[in-house]
Amino acid sequence: MAGTITPGGSALNLLEQTYRAELATQCNEEMRIANDFDNGNDGLEKFGNLLNIRKILRVGASTLNTTDTGKSLTYTNNTELVVTVSPTFAYGAVEIARTTLSRLLAEAKLRAAYRKQIAAGLSTKIDADAGILAASLVTSVKGGSTQNFDKAFMLDGIGALIENAKDVYAPGQGGWAFLKYHPRQWDNIHAINEITNAQVRGDSEKPVKVGWVWAAYGLKLMETGSVYTNAGTAHNLLHVKESHVLAYNTRPDFLTPQEFELVWRLIAFVEYGVGEVWDEWAVDMQTTSS
């Protein structure tokens, strides 16, 4: 029949294809939990095989009676403790066949995209290890597997931090506390008027502002998928900076790209340690992860 195009005809061989110039990369979790941990190296670049952090506990005062000569005082025993942090070595590696590279017109973009993804993977690993530490907290554990964030739950956690962190955390008087919460709690967090309303937060810039910073309580909030979850429970971490440490032996770095036989290898690595220093300076705010 005149004018008929038969499916599978030779005209299909003339159809052209194009590719977008930029390479799309899959999303990664950013480092949001460990970023707000204390620098465990105390200014040093490396901590070696084991990081030891020396702690001195509080010393209570005693009353001197008016009839006391001051020669028989009550002494506090030495209260020094040491917490240790061990290093973790992590790496990311990609191997590409030489035949692939030799045929690519966008070889430079491919290499750059893999470098970006490997670096992001290392950051995600560090943050995930930091998130697990929330489940080890003992002093302050709030909520449970059916809990969602609301005003009362938020204030309960902040109250526990105020009570136990004492002079380390004084809301509204300098210094910050941090709350890293699971993405599934986004809507519940932002349903709390005191977080989103500037007139309550003490923000004079605008009447309503996105509540990343709850200035009235000295609290910084950030959602992250690095929050540790187990059996349907998300362990959202509320803490002051000094409650945990992040230290490095080697910061994230790339080796010189290697050629082995007929493959090209790109390798990056990092050696770090994350650990808890003061249990009472943090709160495990447990909520549902679904």
Model confidence over 81-97: pLDDT tens digits? Answer: 999 999 999 999 999 99
For the entire predicted model, the pTM comes to 0.87
Tokens of 2: 């005149």
Separation in Å, CA 245 to CA 35, 114, 242, 273, 290: 10, 29, 7, 8, 29
Residue 199 belongs to some domain of the structure: yes
Q: What pLDDT score does 10 carry?
A: 67
pLDDT > 50? residue 181: yes
CATH of the domain at 197: 3.30.2320
Residue 116 belongs to some domain of the structure: no
Residue 223 belongs to some domain of the structure: yes
Q: Residues 41, 76: contact at Cβ < 8 Å?
A: no
Residue with tokens 């907290």: 137
pLDDT > 80? residue 2: no
Residue 38 belongs to some domain of the structure: no
Q: What pLDDT score does 88 carry?
A: 97
Residue with tokens 């460990």: 34
Per the structure, the count of domains in the chain is: 1
| Best CA proximity match to 285, nearest among 135, 177, 99 | 135
Q: Which of 8-22, 105-119, 134-148 has the highest mean pLDDT?
A: 134-148
Q: What pLDDT score does 99 carry?
A: 92
Q: Residues 220, 213: contact at Cβ < 8 Å?
A: yes
Residue 149 belongs to some domain of the structure: yes
Residue 179 belongs to some domain of the structure: yes
Q: Residues 192, 255: contact at Cβ < 8 Å?
A: no
Largest CA distance in the chain: 123
Name the burial class of residue 246, with classes exposed (0-12), middle (13-18) and buried (19+) by CB atoms within 10 angstroms of its CB: buried
pLDDT > 60? residue 6: no
CA 56 to chain centre: 27
The proportion of the chain whose per-residue pLDDT surpasses 70, expressed as a percent, equals 88
d(CA 277, CA 140): 14
Q: What pLDDT score does 197 carry?
A: 66
- Give the domain extent around 195: 139-244+278-288
Residue 231 belongs to some domain of the structure: yes
Q: Residues 201, 210: contact at Cβ < 8 Å?
A: no
Residue 166 belongs to some domain of the structure: yes
Q: Tell me the average pLDDT of the chain.
A: 87
| Best CA proximity match to 84, nearest among 53, 55, 61, 115 | 53
Q: What pLDDT score does 209 carry?
A: 45
Q: Residues 45, 284: contact at Cβ < 8 Å?
A: no
| Best CA proximity match to 284, nearest among 235, 221, 226, 224 | 235
Distance linking the first and last C-alpha atoms of the chain: 60
Tokens of 22: 């930029």
Q: Residues 107, 249: contact at Cβ < 8 Å?
A: no
Q: Residues 286, 234: contact at Cβ < 8 Å?
A: yes
pLDDT category at 132 given cuts 50, 70, 90 is: very high
Model confidence over 197-248: pLDDT tens digits? Answer: 644 545 555 544 444 445 556 788 899 999 999 999 999 999 999 999 999 9
| Best CA proximity match to 182, nearest among 127, 237, 117, 258 | 237
